[in-house]
Amino acid sequence: MTSQLLALGFDAEDPGQLARFYAAALGWDVDDGDRPTIALVPTDGTTFRLVFRPGAEPKRGQNRLHLDLTTATVDDQQSTVDQLVAIGGRHIDIGQRPDELHVVLADPEGNELCIIEPQNRFLADCDRLGSITCDGSRAVGCFWSAALGWPLVWDQDEETAVRAPDGRGPMITWGGPPVAPKAGRNRLHLEIAPTDAADVDAEVQRLVSLGATDTGARTDAWLVLVDPDDNEFWVRTSG
């Protein structure tokens, strides 16, 4: 048994505004049929959604997860930056060097994202959403590879990356040590569901055996676990 990735969830102050920002950034469609939750439906090879829900805690420090967006040309990179700044993004400094070619922005709620230079070879065959980029250890990369059944497509110098077995959609990457201290609940989290919907308990036990911890938090449809680096993720139990 494995789990399937359903969504990357965002805790948002204004789900509608944030969803519209990322819809413009990615060229994905907005599905607001389940308000106050708003989802983005992919228009490329991505097999999961972005989901925006109210309930963001005050932002404290740099997020452990952010999106990397690819670009095709230098002009595409610049026009993407200009477009996102015009709709609420802003330039930020997170310690990037002057010689680095990617552009670091914050979305309207301060969440970091990177607009990657067209020369980047690592994400060269990815669509606009190139990567969910995470601050994390090699152990957590191996955990997610086993949890999702996605192969490790990069495993060097404590850095890891996984991608769907069919080679489509974005990568999920972990940058290795040092892992930044966690400051409160993550604003971004992965949402998964067992491939066998009838056997949630067995899948939770498997995830725990791989290194997850059950936090005991429950809703009608979700369980909240944390991975080996203490990042929250949600496991769907119904629906």
Q: Which of 50, 7, 231, 207 is nearest to 134 (CA)?
A: 231
Region 78-83: mean pLDDT is: 98
pTM (2 decimals)? 0.95
Region 27-37: mean pLDDT is: 88
What local confidence, expressed as pLDDT, does residue 172 receive? 98
Residue 180 confidence class, pLDDT cut points 50, 70, 90:
confident
> Chain centroid to CA 72: how far?
21
Name, in order, each residue with C-beta under 8 angstroms of 193's C-beta and a sequence gap of 6 or more: 3, 4, 6, 235, 236
What local confidence, expressed as pLDDT, does residue 83 receive? 98
185 DSSP 8-state letter? S
Domain annotation for the chain: domains and CATH numbers: 3-236 (3.10.180.10)
Helix/strand/coil for 210: helix
What local confidence, expressed as pLDDT, does residue 64 receive? 95
Please write the tens of the pLDDT for every residue from 108-128: 999 999 999 999 999 999 999
What local confidence, expressed as pLDDT, does residue 3 receive? 96
What local confidence, expressed as pLDDT, does residue 126 receive? 96
User: What are 50's strand-pairing partners?
Assistant: 8, 40
Neighbours of 207 (CB within 10 A): 25
β-bridge pairing 171-174 and 103-106: unpaired
